[in-house]
Amino acid sequence: MSLALTHGDHSTTAIGRAPNPSDPRSDADVRPTRHWYQPFHLPRRGVGRHRRWRHGTCLRPATPSIATYGTRYLSLTVIVPAYNEEVGLPDTIAALHRQTVPPDEIIVVDDCSTDRTREIGLAHGVAVLTPPRNLGSKARAQNYALQHCTTHLVLPVDGDTILADDYIERIKQPFQDPRVMVAAGCVRTRYQKTIWEKGREIEYLFGFHWFRPVQNATNAPVVCSGCCSAFHRGQLIEAGGFPERTMVEDIDWTWTQQIAGFRAVYVADAVAYAAEPDSTKYLRKQLWRWKSGWFQNVRRHSTSMIRRKPWLALWVGLSLLEILISPFSVALPLVWLFVLHHAAQDVFLWWAFGELALMGPPLAYAMVKRRVNPLKVLWMYPSFYALKMFNFYYDWKAMFVELVLVPLRLAEGLTQYEKGHA
């Protein structure tokens, strides 16, 4: 089935759906996504009136109170923004079809790909939405799909990310609290073949088992990963969609909602596996976009964050402090060795003791929780230091550009979105 949709003055065949033999709902007369009140016949008490929201040719109802009904009645649409994702997309969709609690709708946004992304989406029995021209960023692609969603929640998933089979079941649970606007799970790397993938796996094992739990305990997660975060659709609609003003819409929205008094939640038992850059070329593109977007949000939100969300400001401030002292932490062993002329054995022992004290407990916890072989972690650990050198460089470069040059109007900052893989 193919539905002709109007986008501005362009009438295009934008959404297509192919039958899926394994899904009894996907037959010759595939039904469109139901509104929230149709599948469950819920009582209208406490639901409130409809809001007429017009975006292009679409009318959407207001989202009712989630807390009234619990997660059983939470409807969810998965949005897969995809540009030239024919390699990773089949596995991504297959993982979505395996969910213990299946999504109510899966929409692939084929952002004018030059490969077979659209055909693959249709062949796997999901809706495919194609804009009349390339939108140029992940946030714009998600917003293009958002106008066609009617569910309580939306879950953007990158076209190369695999969700664990129970991911949706677990990610829905925090939304029983009506103050929760964002929920994100734990991210692991899909592959550990290259030095960058190995380094990123150690980075994730450490960060998602130390920084995230501590931040979540203070009700102030700093990052909700854009590859697998669930969002309250009604709140997004009222704000005009995912923010497009920075390079990282996930951080922008997470900070905005927390500053406004709402909650973001880290769900440790919901696990997603993301494809990471496997070459220096794409690692550099990804890090430049991530770091630039981070400091764009620091520049935009720092004042209101300090006033209204001090815990979040604390964690962001500590991250900035870590960036500022990073050159000294790298140079200190060299100073001991070549300037102060300490014995190499002593320098190594001090370094090893510091690493064990700082990295050991979180990594040990991660290895137990995720059942990771300790020998594998030791094998990948040197790659983490190679990745740290790139992180330090792009942290400092982005900090100088976004916090110094841009305010002085000496640079525009990063505005063009580039993918972190081929």
**Which tens digit of pLDDT belongs to each residue from 257-274?**
999 999 999 999 999 999
Q: Is the pLDDT of residue 47 over 50?
A: no
Q: What is the chain's mean pLDDT, rounded?
A: 85
Sheet holding 105-110, edge to edge: 2-7, 10-16, 127-129, 105-110, 76-82, 153-156, 229-232, 180-189, 263-274, 161-163
Contact 414, 289 (CB under 8 A): yes
Write down the H helix ranges in 335-406.
344-370, 374-400
**Highest CATH level, class, for 1-161:** alpha beta
pLDDT tens for each residue of 300-331:
999 999 999 999 999 999 999 999 998 888 88
Residue 48's pLDDT is: 34
**420: confidence class by pLDDT, cuts 50, 70, 90:** low
Residue 231's pLDDT is: 98
pLDDT tens for each residue of 153-203:
999 999 999 999 999 999 999 999 999 999 999 999 999 999 999 999 999
Residue 162's pLDDT is: 98
Residue 422's pLDDT is: 64
Question: Length of the chain, please?
Answer: 422
Q: How far lies 89's CA from each of 94, 159, 283, in Å?
A: 8, 5, 20
Rounded CA-CA distance 335/312 in Å is: 35
Q: Tell the residue number behind the tokens 């029983």, with chain if given.
A: 176
Q: Tell the residue number behind the tokens 């739990």, with chain if given.
A: 213
Q: Is the pLDDT of residue 72 over 80?
A: no
Quick one: what percent of the chain has pLDDT higher than 90? 73
Q: Where in the chain is the domain with CATH 3.90.550?
A: 1-161
Q: Tell the residue number behind the tokens 């190679």, with chain if given.
A: 386
Handedness of CA 409, 415, 416, 417 (dihedral sign): positive
Backbone angles phi, psi at 286, to 5 degrees: -65, -50
Strand partners, 76: 153
Contact 202, 384 (CB under 8 A): yes
Contact 273, 158 (CB under 8 A): no
pLDDT tens for each residue of 371-393:
999 999 999 999 999 999 999 99
Minimal CA–CA distance to 259: which of 194, 202, 303, 210?
A: 303
Handedness of CA 365, 363, 277, 398 (dihedral sign): positive
**pTM of the shown model:** 0.83
Residue 295's pLDDT is: 98
Residue 31's pLDDT is: 33
Q: Return the structure tokens found at 420.
A: 């972190």
Minimal CA–CA distance to 35: which of 156, 152, 169?
A: 152
Comparing 30-44, 233-247, 397-411, the range with the smallest average pLDDT is: 30-44
Decide which of 29 and 134 is more confident. 134
Comparing 56-70, 169-183, 313-327, 342-356, the range with the smallest average pLDDT is: 56-70
**70: confidence class by pLDDT, cuts 50, 70, 90:** low
Comparing 33-47, 105-119, 159-173, 250-264, the range with the smallest average pLDDT is: 33-47
